[in-house]
Amino acid sequence: MPDIPNRDELESEYAKEVSKLLKTLAGRLLEAMGDPPDLSNLDQAFWDEQTKEALAVLIPFGERIFMQAARRLLLEQPVGVEWDVIHEAAVDWASAYSFSYVSNLRANTMRFLQKVISRYFTEGMTIGQLESTLLRHFDPVRAEMIAVTEVTRAAAQGELAVLKELQAMGYQMEVRWNTNHDELVCPICRPLNQKKQGDSWNEPPPAHPRCRCWLNITLSRAG
């Protein structure tokens, strides 16, 4: 199957929302830590609120892209599956993955803050310099990278959810890795192009941040 037809639109929309989240987080971190900054001010209540707001953005996006990919795959097949099963899979995956992603973001942010706050005191940084450092850490380039990567991930998961159901119905699947096969393809993904699952790869895209690869799938009746 071809790459996500509206990928650019999805990535742009996703990046815009993630950029807002990251910029807001940077401001709230600075405000909550105070002057001078104190990491102990970032209590559980603070992180619970940030998590809630992030999940309100990430879960719907993940579910939507998952379902779009599943729908495209089904349109190419001569048989269907129970749509409620696919929707349930989308909800479950988007919720679980988004929560895990936000938890990792929190852990990574705390590690970053521990280093930068240490620099704040040892190097005599100003609050303005600290703010600039936080904004650079959460800049739009990072949001764009997240968007590209996560659109790829959600789409692949949607396709695999359909394939799982078709396999349960007695259909065999052949899954191949697809790249754009041009000079922009990275050294990680280039050798995977058109390789079957199990031949040089097992986990679906993305293979790395900003990966735009996708799956090419054919089905045949078992037996």
Expressed as residue numbers, the domain containing 91 is 7-169
pLDDT at 75: 85
Domain count, the chain: 1
143: in domain: yes
78: in domain: yes
pLDDT at 55: 98
56: in domain: yes
pLDDT at 181: 66
- Work out the percent of the chain whose per-residue pLDDT is above 90: 81
Residue 223 pLDDT > 60: no
182: in domain: no
Taking only the tens place, the pLDDT of each residue in 44-84 is 999 999 999 999 999 999 999 999 999 998 888 777 789 99
- According to DSSP H, which parts of the chain are helical? 7-33, 44-75, 83-122, 127-137, 140-168
176: in domain: no
Read off the pLDDT band of 8 (50, 70, 90): very high
Taking only the tens place, the pLDDT of each residue in 139-191 is 999 999 999 999 999 999 999 999 899 888 888 888 999 998 666 789 999 99
Taking only the tens place, the pLDDT of each residue in 173-186 is 889 999 986 667 89
181: in domain: no
164: in domain: yes
Cβ atoms within 10 Å, residue 98:
23
- 149 Cβ neighbours under 8 A, 6+ residues apart: 206, 209, 210, 211
Residue 2 pLDDT > 70: no
Taking only the tens place, the pLDDT of each residue in 194-214 is 999 999 999 999 999 999 999
- Work out the percent of the chain whose per-residue pLDDT is above 70: 95
Taking only the tens place, the pLDDT of each residue in 72-129 is 988 887 777 899 999 999 999 999 999 999 999 999 999 999 999 999 999 999 999 9
82: in domain: yes
pTM above 0.95, yes or no: no
Tell me which H or E stretch contains 219: strand 214-221
